[in-house]
Amino acid sequence: MLSSVEILILSAIQGIFEFLPVSSAAHLVLVSKYYAFSNQNLLIDICLHLGSLLAIIVYFRNDLIHFIKNKNFLIKILIGTIPIIPVGYILYKTGLINNLRNLEIIGWMSLIFGIILFISDKTEATKNIDKNFSNKSAIMIGLFQVLALIPGVSRSGITMTSGRFLGFNRFDSAKISFFFSIPTLFAASALGMYNIYKEGSSELNFLAIISVIFSFIFSYFTIALFLNFIKTSSLNIFIIQIYLYYHRELKSLTGATDNHATSGLKFRVLHEFLSVGVSVLLSDVDVVWMRNPFGGSRLVVPTIESDPDRVHVDAPAIYGDSDVEGMTDGWDDVSAYGFAYAGAGGTPMRRLAARNSGLFYLAATKESLRMVSRLAERMATERNTWDQTAYNEEMWWATLDVVPR
């Protein structure tokens, strides 16, 4: 049975992080790492969601009364909620959601969508919630909300991101996000009550009541303070918070937070993809692709308006016929493919061409999986080894069928 202190902690997590543009799943994981909760029954979960739902209804009571009289806005919110229902049902019914619930995915999703939130917050505000919130806007935000099913992606964060991309200001984007949470919280509470009814195992008790009260208090004040904050401030503080979370998780996974640790984590992420049979094209952020690396058709728009558009078929830059395909660090035939030179005392030497560790394709084969496993281990244990050096060594040793000790 949960204690009153545990109820208070869970209420704070639910009430605060449900509405801020940071992942509540990430904070639940972090808190659980330092505090082992007692068994949490379904009734407490429902009461926590119910407290947040009541807080939104009370805070936005005047808006909701207006929406009841003018049903168009309410219908748009319901339309936008539709996409998440079948996707969520499939993920939970098949158990796929449990495969996504790990620290690495939560850390990467928090970082990636934090960056996207940062970019969206630079969008110029040109739309007003009362005049410009259309069915198209509702569907677009609803499709973005589906991404919140991935652990590490904040529901409020992703809906606010989509609102900002659509041209709504921060305040209106936040209000839209809060309104979208009403059907979600209602559905979660209703589904939980149905399960309790089927099991017939839970009774309303004192802890359930204080769960609703605490969750309501934390939720209400979070909504009020957050809306007041974004009237005059940007969302950058939440991007910093996401970065700090990523920083903590990187250290817990690799023991450090420097460039070497990040490079080591890269090979661990590649291992996750290859182990489930997914081939990967890794491309650093400073690489610009001018066409599809796998080849295919593309539309070529002429520079002269009178000329017709034409379709050009590109040859593939990646053939997919090897375990590893990559780019050399050379700039011509000599530097790309190696060259001979005289060493100390005139000793004939030969420089092997170096493959770049920031641009390569890995086929989902046992050989590739073994290679990235060794690379991840080496980067975790060899603090002075450059990832590109290790990458080249592992490739050459693999061609000789040699596993170094």
CB 42 within 8 A of CB 79: no
Please write the tens of the pLDDT for every residue from 248-286: 555 655 565 567 677 777 888 888 888 878 888 988 878
Q: Which alpha helices (DSSP H) does 200-349 contain, by range?
A: 206-230, 236-254, 259-275, 333-337
DSSP 344: G
The whole-number pLDDT of residue 396 equals 75
Q: What pLDDT does 36 receive? A: 60
User: What is the model's pLDDT at position 95?
Assistant: 73
Question: Which pLDDT value is given to residue 387?
Answer: 85
- How far CA 182 is from CA of 19, 25, 132, 340, in Å, comes to 11, 19, 21, 70
Residues 319-360: tens digit of each pLDDT: 878 889 888 877 777 666 666 666 666 666 555 557 888 889
The pair of three-digit structure tokens given for residue 20, joined into one six-digit string: 């801020």
**DSSP assignment string, 242-274:** HHHHHHHHHHHHHS--SHHHHHHHHHHHHHHHH
Whether 44 and 208 have beta carbons less than 8 Å apart is answered as yes
pLDDT at 405: 47
- The one-letter code for the residue type at 128 is N
How confident is the model at residue 311, as a pLDDT? Answer: 64
The low-confidence residues of the chain, meaning pLDDT below 50, are 405
* pLDDT, position 102: 65
**pTM more than 0.95:** no
